[in-house]
Amino acid sequence: MTRLATNTWTTKTFLTKTKRGNILKIVREHYLRDDLLCGSAACNVCPHKNDELVLDSTPDSICALFDYNHYLILDTNVVLHQIDILEDDALKNVIILQTVLEEVKHQNTAIFQRLLEIVGNKKRKFYSFVNEHHKDTYVERKPGEKANDRNDRAIRKAAKWYSGHLSKKGAGQFLQVVLLTDDETNRKLAQEESIVCCSVKDYIENTNGFPGLIDKLSKNVMPESSSKDALYPPHLTPSQIHTGIRNGKLHQGTFYASRDNFLEGSATISGYEKQILLQGHIGINRAIDGDIVAIEIFPEEEWRKPSDIVLEDKADDPGDFLEEESILLNNAKSAASADISPTGKVVGIIKRKWRQYCGILMPSKFPGATRHLFTPAEKRIPRVRIETRQSDLLASQRILVALDSWPRNSRYPLGHFVRALGPIGDKDAENEVILLEHDVPHARFSEAVLACLPPDNWTIPDEEIKKRVDLRSICVCSVDPPGCTDIDDALHARPLADTTTDGLKKYEVGVHIADVTYFVRPNTALDKEAASRSTTVYLVGKRIDMVPDLLSSNLCSLRGGEERFAFSCVWEIDENANVLNTKFHKSIIKSREAMTYEQAQIAIDDSSRKDEIASSLRTLNALAKKLKQKRLDNGALLLASPEIRFEVDSETHEPMEVQAKRILDTNSMVEEFMLLANVSVAQHIAAEFPQSALLRRHPAPPPANFTTFLKAASQQGFELDVSTNKSFSKSLNEAVIPSRPFFNTLLRIMATRCMQQAVYFSSGTLAQEDFYHYGLACPIYTHFTSPIRRYADVIVHRLLASCIGADATHASILDTKYAVSLCENLNYRHRQAQYAGRASVALNTHILFKDRVEVEPAVVLSVKRNALQVLIPKYGLEGPLYLPSDKFVYNEEEHVQICNGVVLKTFDEIVVRLSLDSTNLQHRKLVFQLVKPIIPGFSYEDREMDVELVEQPDVIEVVDITDLTSKKRNVQTKSKKKKTKK
């Protein structure tokens, strides 16, 4: 028998006055039903179908406080503060109310997504009940009632309804409902209404069979007003912060902690060219890297110079007191005005940007202790106090910890254990740490995403071929690193029969880019996942794809000998590399060959080869050199970066050797045409969509960024002109020391560190003069050439397709607000992917040095008060070489260290001994020791090795190589089977 629903409406009427003084009547209707299901298999009243039964008929009790079968109902704060408990498989048969879902969604979207994943997992038996539309559970907000109080009342009403509903005659077995809430007032009101309730802490502490569950409890927060044993000043309240910012006494900024000095940080504030310097425990006042903070700026006479010491937190737990900071704060009182930075202190937290952190446990030295210190892998995050009874087990594990609070009376923030990731040193566990620490989405693609893919046996439809330009007969080929499977781009070049009016030869040159947007349609689950990931992430020997492998390595990849859809940019170019005409079209191509850079170089250099591929490559290479020279003449920068390549054992997947990456003409050849395509597309989409084109800009670095760099160059006898990118480029070209061939490369590496990051933006948000790309010296730029691995390129493809009438104009690409939030995510994900790649290099270098010691040439990158920052070009490694203050004298004005007449300064070539310090299993680190110059009593006395500076990798163009792909500039790997020793 089908039950008919009884539907009702509640209405609210409002009267409001318009700007013109008219009275407007607003009526809001709220739809209520009585046929919404309870989801319980124990219920015989609701007309459930089998797939609608989520909650067990006899749910087991895991809590000793309740020896009867029961369901759990949670209030909003339990979800917000105890999500790690909820993600544990221990809790099942839980009712999530619509009231709670909506509150969580409003307050924290990240936790809301995590909650949705739990509800979507059928094994967890979490049931979402729409209490806001059930006629028996909906409650009206009373006049003068706070929204939070109304929602608490709605939660209690739903809990009361469930208890009554499950105890009705005919409802089946009698079941109880337990309301979990940490709100003391809410618990008291629930008890008065005869609702069984409990705090999360009491419930979890009395669970049976889940000993690790209690470690995941989020700790209670001590009020800021409490001054008992306070170490830090109180944070201002939100209203005080708002008032202070409004009257100009306070400023809002994002806090960035220093990697080198745990007692120093900075914040970027509008209106100040330099970052605001924050020093000492009190100056930082419990801010954590990424927090949005309120800052009070000191009077100008109290401004200081950033410290030049490397300072790490002590190894042992110092207890709850703050150490003397005079070493830090007495630094640079008499510094030159150019070195002084605006200085201030954090007076309040506007928004915490906390996440889960990976690291290691430092067990307490006291037997049986439950309070321990957690050391995060990220140096910019302070150590955390957690409670766990599993310290013996976790001491050898990489673990994940969440922050709960940072009370005024605690030296460190408080947190709780989330889960173990695996043994310390295990490569899988360490890779997991890298991905988590850099917030790289790496879960398996969901069923909803995979459902968007074509079948494995998909073939090109005939009707789609008719819509495209057929280029299958043209000699197209791709050039990529060895082992590349996600081939985004291919090229062709062929001579044209006619000439220019000046008698110059003409060529047709094409760049053909994988047509990812044919498969990734707007607003699908696949599209949303790609937008969230934003980029493919490349680690050593591992790739985390932006789109599933069926697309990235197969249907979209422009593999040799296979027909593929492409988006083509085709130019007519004369022999002097002047572009005469540009056209864009969707196409179908068949690549003749997928080549490596080395194979393409051999084809170019082999004069005996007269085939079509070799001729095409030679034409491309000749034109590319002319395009490059035009850019350099225009002021484009040639910067440098040490790039390396690991040889990986094919069986163990561990690094065996590392070598500098070779740069060939074919690398530059591909770069030039990718750059040209990106510029051509940027000009076209900006003209058609002046308010919503997705572009990429590279801001000019502020003069303050060059201060230390220019001083170091001056010590070597070079006065560099950084007034414009063109003059800077000219200065770099002229800064050559014939006896030191690596010096110019090093100078360019240092120059790279003065640059700002290039960023994505929407054209409608900036004036046209701000579109400029400093590194490339071009007025407009975008990313078009790597849509398999970059979501920015996917959007640009959609814009371009709309421009040429190849696809519809989707509403999202015209939405400026959406474009701004999209660019923010693109910039964040791109930055994190770069950091993750570098961390992967560091990890594999640690593994490489596990059982070896090397003596290698190095170069001084910077001079600190107590250390040299050195670079080992062979490995692309850098780190601190600590100098004892009782032996070395630091000259603050000249930035040099002096010992026994030996002067060490920036750009000096030295020799270091490199080893891995494994004395502390939990915190292995590379150790740099000075070998040469020889300083008696300090230098490491090497017995036999005599090291000379070897030839270093060529200068490579960095400009904005992100348009090329991380796979073409990041670490590459080559599998090699380890030889067995006999």
| pLDDT score of 14 | 61
User: In this predicted structure, what is the pLDDT of residue 556?
Assistant: 96
pLDDT at 951: 39
Selection from 778, 786, 736 nearest residue 515 by Cα: 786
Which pTM value belongs to this model? 0.81
Q: Are 241 and 263 in contact (CB under 8 A)?
A: no
Q: Closest Cα to residue 560, out of 529, 520, 583, 591?
A: 591
Q: pLDDT under 70 in the chain at which residues?
A: 1-15, 25-28, 169-173, 220-228, 314-318, 321, 323-338, 641-644, 649-653, 659-661, 920-924, 942-982
920 touches 634 (CB < 8 A): no
Q: What distance in Å separates the CA atoms of residue 598 and residue 215, rounded to the nearest whole number?
A: 54
Residue 7: what pLDDT?
59
**Domains, the chain, ordered by start:** 28-213 (3.40.50.1010), 238-351 (2.40.50.690), 356-425 (2.40.50.700), 849-951 (2.40.50.140)
Pick from 171, 184, 202, 193: nearest CA to 82: 202
Question: Whole-angstrom Cα distance, residue 384 to residue 406?
Answer: 9
pLDDT of residue 334: 47
What is the identity of the amino acid at 715? Q
* Distance in Å from the first CA to the final CA of the chain: 81
In one-letter notation, the amino acid at residue 885 is S
Question: Max CA-CA distance within the chain?
Answer: 99
Burial class (CB in 10 A: 0-12, 13-18, 19+), 106: exposed
Q: What DSSP assignment string belongs to 534-555?
A: -B-EEETTEEE-SS-HHIIIII
907 — phi, psi (to 5°)?
80, -5
- Residue-by-residue DSSP string for 36-74: ----BTT-SSS---GGG--B-SSPPP-BTT--S-EEEEE
For strands 126-129 and 94-97, give the pairing. Answer: parallel
Span 204-232, pLDDT tens digits: 999 988 988 999 998 766 666 666 678 89
Q: What is the pLDDT of residues 871-910, one digit of tens each?
A: 888 877 788 899 988 899 998 888 899 998 899 999 999 9
CA–CA separation, 669 vs 622, rounded Å?
8
Q: What is the DSSP string of 110-145?
A: HHHHHHHHHHH-GGG-EEEE-GGGBTTT--PPPTT-
Q: How far apart are the C-alpha atoms of 76 and 97, rounded to whole Å?
A: 9
- Judge whether 544 and 537 are in contact, CB under 8 Å: yes
Instruction: Quote the CA–CA distance of 387 and 844 in Å, as a whole number.
Output: 32
> CB-based contacts of 371: which residues, under 8 Å, 6+ apart?
364, 385, 386, 387
Amino acid in the structure at residue 119: V
Burial of 456 (0-12, 13-18, 19+ CB in 10 A): exposed
